Structure 1
Amino acid sequence: MVYPVVYTGLTQGMERRRGHPACAVSVRHLADDCLDRFHDDVEAVVHDVVRRATAPIDNLDAWICGLINSATVNGHRRRRGEIGALQRPRAPKWLVDGLGGDRWLVHLAVQMLNWVGNPVTAGTNVWPVDSWTALRCRFTGDWDGSVDVRHDIEAVLRVMRAKREWYERYVEGPLGHKHVPVPRYAPECPAGDQDTPALSLIDVGERDDLYMRELAHLAMTAMRTRLRAGEDPATVVAEVIAVAFGDGAVPTLDGGPRLSDTAGDHVGRILRDRGRIRDIVAAVLAVVEDL
């Protein structure tokens, strides 16, 4: 009873705001990371339902809707507490003093304390440098493109490490619970260079599946934007698929295909099949209409 209420009352809207149109279609369409977050939220709501439902309830769905926000927030704080992260990150006075009271550095310190308890990763980086660079520009009003927020992160870490026990408990410990970030492709190194990773923590199939999910999301976003602008559905679908999954050559449906005729050109064969294109267009339109 809980999971459909949580999905429609919380998850669906959050996925749209995150820019995940496919995840906002249904629970079955949720990507792996989004599905994990959804399961965490459902578990948190079930926990609160069992704890609070001490009297007969006439309309359980409506009653659950009323506690979704508080239940999921409390669940998030419990999960942070389980890994040792601060449940309500605040900058202690000694940290504010150590940063000289700089408003941006203090704000960044709170962001870092919040980040270490968040299960998501920043790709191959420890910290989400790009998003914090944009945050710094908005916070300080300094839009100088040469600004590197890495220096600010190191400045905050130096002050935090001065309290070794505090740092290990609230920063280093929770940070160690994050999944190991793995690059999609191993960096190319000269022969004999020992910097190349000796072991990949995910197999090729999982890595390719992750890449294709991201590519499909970008393709769907491009199609949705162009369709809502009034462009011809068949042309939009064929062009986006050719660029995203083919050899990059854009087909012309009226004047004949311009894609290569190589034996392995599976995408090209699909785009030359008008029946397949009609089926794909229908599927895309159904998804767009649901958003």
Structure 2
Amino acid sequence: MPRRSPTAADEVRGLARAGTLAATVADADEPRRRRLTRGTYSVVYPVVYTGLTQGLERRRGHPACAVSVRHLADDCLDRFHDDVEAVVHDVVRRATAPIDNLDAWICGLINSATVNGHRRRRGEIGALQRPRAPKWLVDGLGGDRWLVHLAVQMLNWVGNPVTAGSQVWPVDSWAALRCRFTGDWDTGSDTAVRADIETVLRVMRAKREWYERYVEGPLGHKHVPVPRFAPESPGGTPLAPALSLVDAGERDDLYMRELAHLAMTAMRTRLLAGEDPHTVVAEVIEVAFGGGAVPALDGRPQLSDAEGEHVGRLLRDRDRISRIAVAVLAIVEDL
């Protein structure tokens, strides 16, 4: 049987064992540097997935994304590639001493490398690398603990490449956060969050140059959010889009993903308030996916009679509800 030729990953591992990986990459010509970087990527990406991404996806409530790299949704895959790139960046610069077990060494590097990579990416678009509320902003918000925390969340958000669907700010997620801060478990708290966001923005805009540099500028680097529903004309008549970039199945899948995320957020909020897990799971599933689900409007998908009956059977099965409740509680405990 012919002997296998060494791969770029094999070369990277050999250089790491010799303690010369960083020096070799630094001194290499462009073709060899690209080969060694590719080899490092091949070593790093499975370690990052199992050591970081998989756990994050479980805590985010993305069970499919926690199966394998191939199952990652688009936004999750983008975050994964950013993290891998950050770790590769540090590996080829910090591997200056002999490393017998490169995978284990990379595991110890993941947290600092991804944090540094996140800060570098924020800095490239002008966002604050370590968002803090300056004293003038705290004073302008009257020292209100929730509003100050929200201001920091907003400064974090503008440097994050992901979007909030068709919204500028992730109002649904912050509504749950507001509930925990204020103790107000009103289901309409998203309206209160929108008002709070406007309050914070009004104070931020008082320092126009600061606002343009650290809020408006970084926010402009986000991808333009595409509305999920058709826009309306001034007369209230829905306008058909000029071009649909995805088919109906993809639109329905996106909507159901968002609906599942909202359901998980609602369950987490109610569980943190001390409600009974079985009741919470059954009621939220009923509202989100059962007979109480919002009917199809503006192109949103609606469950067929057969799918609705399937949800009804699930809600009547106490054992299945118990298993779902256990899974939800495990996710909440990890957050």
Q: State the TM-score, normalizing by the size of structure 2.
A: 0.62
Residues 1:76 and 1:189: Cα distance change in structure 2 (over 3 Å): same
Q: Which residue does 1:166 correspond to in 2? A: 210
Shift of 1:119: 1.2
Q: Distance in 1 between matches of 2:240 and 2:218?
A: 25
Q: Distance in 2 between the 1:251 and 1:169 partners? A: 50
Q: Where in structure 2 are there 5+ consecutive unaligned residues?
A: 1-42, 264-288, 290-300, 310-335
Read off the aligned partner of 1:153 and give its amino acid letter. I
Distance between the aligned counterparts of 2:307 and 2:54, measured in 1?
34
Deviation at 1:125?
Answer: 1.2
Q: Output the amino acid matched with 1:149.
A: V
Q: Would you say 1:62 and 2:104 are equivalent positions?
A: yes
Q: 1:146 and 1:59 mapped to 2: Cα distance? A: 52
The answer to whether 1:209 aligns with 2:264 is no
Aligned to 2:199: 155
Counterparts in 2 of 1:198 and 1:161: CA distance versus 1, 3 Å:
farther
Match of 1:76 in 2: 118
Task: Give matches, 1:7-156, under 5 Å.
Answer: 7-145=49-187, 147=189, 148-156=192-200
> Counterpart of 2:250 in structure 1: which amino acid?
D
Tell me how far 1:151 sits from its aligned partner: 1.4
The 1:250–1:84 alpha-carbon spacing in structure 2 relative to 1, beyond 3 Å, is: closer
Residue 108 of structure 1 and its aligned partner are, at CA, apart by 1.0
Which residue in the other structure is 1:179 paired with?
A: 223
2-structure distance, mates of 1:50, 1:7: 19
Q: Which amino acid aligns with 2:304?
A: D
Aligned residue pairs, count: 231
Alignment of 1:249 onto 2:290: no
Per the alignment, in what secondary structure is the counterpart of residue 184 of structure 2? coil
Higher mean C-alpha displacement, 183-192 vs 4-13: 183-192
Tell whether the 8 Å contact from 1:109 to 1:156 is kept in structure 2 after alignment. Answer: yes
Q: What is the deviation of 1:215?
A: 3.7
Map Cα deviations across residues 209-230 of structure 1 (whole Å, 9 max, x no partner). Answer: 25325547989xx9xxxxxxxx
Matching of residue 3 in structure 1 with residue 3 in structure 2: no
Q: Distance in 2 between matches of 1:101 and 1:140?
A: 14
CA contact 1:123–1:183 (8 Å) conserved in 2: yes
Distance 2:242 2:306 in 1: 36
Structure 1 residues 96 and 217, CA, compared in 2 at 3 Å: closer, same or farther?
A: closer
Take 2:165 and 2:113, find their aligned partners in 1: how far apart are those partners?
A: 29
How far off its partner does 1:98 sit?
1.1
Q: CA RMSD in A?
A: 3.2
Q: Which amino acid aligns with 1:165?
A: E
Q: Which runs of 5+ in 1 are unaligned?
A: 223-239, 253-291
1:77/1:163 Cα in 2 relative to 1: closer, same or farther (>3 Å)?
same
1:136-160 Cα distance to aligned partner (Å, 9 max, x none): 1210112344541111111111110
Distance 1:196 1:112 in 2: 32
Q: Deviations over 1:30-54 (max 9, x none)?
A: 1111111111010000000011001
How far has the Cα of 1:198 moved from its partner?
Answer: 6.5
- CA distance, structure 2, for counterparts of residue 214 and residue 106 of structure 1: 32
1:188: Cα distance to partner? 4.6
Q: Deviations 1:216-249 (Å, cap 9, x if unpaired)?
A: 7989xx9xxxxxxxxxxxxxxxxx9xxx997332
